Amino acid sequence: MALLASRRLITKSEIFRSVAGYSGAIESMERMFERDKDDLRSLGIEIEVAPIDSLFEDESGYRISPDKYALKIPDLTPAELGVLSVAATSWQTSFFSESGQQGLRKLKSLGVEIQEDVLITSIIPVDQNQPHFETLWEAISQSRSISFHYADNEKDLRTIDPYGISLFKGEWYIVGLDRDKADIRTFKVRRISSLKLVGKKDGFKRPDDFRLREAMIIGASEAHYVVRMKIRTGQALSLRTGSTLLDIEDDWDIFERSYAFEGAAIFDALWYGADVVILEPQKLRDRVLQILRSRVE
């Protein structure tokens, strides 16, 4: 996130001060840094390395180019699309997490200009159950206007310039400029019908100051979905951050954590596997078990 979001090369010292997990002696952090670089490169992620000052090559800076990082989507099977959807949710959840936000705030305090939208759009969140997703993504990526009927008034045809699409509180939303209202509006994808591409490629320009995260987070500033869970002793350290410890058992610690929406809680439960057990609410516990059983079957 730090390397991808930065508009400029950032130094190791800036990374050590802003990215969670780097602590201890400088030699230890150096080894961790080299290991992390190798891990990223083993995943096929290209890291730009160049001198910070062209006149003095004694200090290097690092960055990940959004253009080289962007994922190219080939023809995928339903199973592959499902895996990709989980990966995209992982990325978005990491971005919205307090530790992720804290790291970006630290970078900003060091004078690093951040491109937050890159973090949302670099991985395409694919949901094969959304019939309009492919058309919407084509419209966004090609800057083409769309028209559709919406559930609140199916008689009127809405025309918008789509700026972005996001998963929020378990629902997909399309955000863009409503031409009739001359204002940015948000629409639930599942309530859209008769969707068509009506504009030419590069038919509009998204405002430079538009932030998809800010558009989606309005009205949801307070987390309200409370989950009680067991975390295995010594495991899921990042999940413990921001959670409230309630009790300690022999091999488990009982925590309570607040989420903005159910989907983020489901992701955490699946991501940490056998190291996390959902206790309450029962509806969430049942949903996680249902997903796990479907994967086994």
Domain boundary among 211, 239, 254: 211
Q: Residue 175 carries which side chain, given as an amino acid letter? A: V
**Within-domain flag for 243:** yes
Enclosing domain of residue 165: 133-211
Rounded to whole angstroms, the Cα distance separating 21 from 13 reads: 13
Q: Is 30 part of any domain? A: yes
- pLDDT at residue number 226: 84
The last residue of a domain, from among 72, 88, 121: 121
Evaluate whether residue 35 is within a structural domain: yes
Note whether 145 and 115 are same-domain residues: no
Q: Which of 49, 45, 47, 12 has the alpha carbon at shortest distance from 28?
A: 12
Residue 68 lies in a domain: yes
Residue 127 belongs to some domain of the structure: no
Q: What is the CATH number of the domain that holds 193?
A: 2.30.30
Instruction: State residue 146's pLDDT score.
Output: 95
Whether residues 14 and 96 fall in one domain = yes
Which among 230, 121, 224 is positioned nearest to 166, based on CA atoms? 121
Instruction: Tell me the HSE value of 258 on the side-chain side, using a 13 A CA sphere.
Output: 9
Asked if residue 216 belongs to a domain, the reply is no
Do both 99 and 188 map to the same domain? no
What is the structure's pLDDT at 77? 63
10-residue averages of pLDDT along the chain (297 residues): 80 84 83 86 82 71 78 61 58 54 65 58 46 81 91 78 77 84 83 89 88 60 69 85 83 84 80 90 88 76
In terms of domains, do 117 and 192 share one?
A: no
* Inside any domain, residue 126: no
Q: How many whole angstroms separate alpha carbon 269 and alpha carbon 261?
A: 13
DSSP state of 81: H
Sheet with 276-280, edge to edge strand ranges: 244-248, 252-259, 225-232, 276-280
The per-residue pLDDT for 110 is: 63
Domain assignment present for residue 239? The answer is yes
Show which of 121, 150, 177 is a domain's final residue. Answer: 121
Domain identity same for 12 and 114:
yes
Count of domains for the chain: 3
pLDDT for position 222: 38
Residue 185 CA from chain centroid, whole number: 21
What pLDDT shows up at residue 3? 83
pLDDT score at 238: 79
Q: Cα–Cα distance between 126 and 133 in angstroms, integer? A: 8
- Do 164 and 205 reside in the same domain of the chain? yes
> Given this model, what pLDDT does residue 124 score?
43
**Shared domain check, 241 and 191:** no
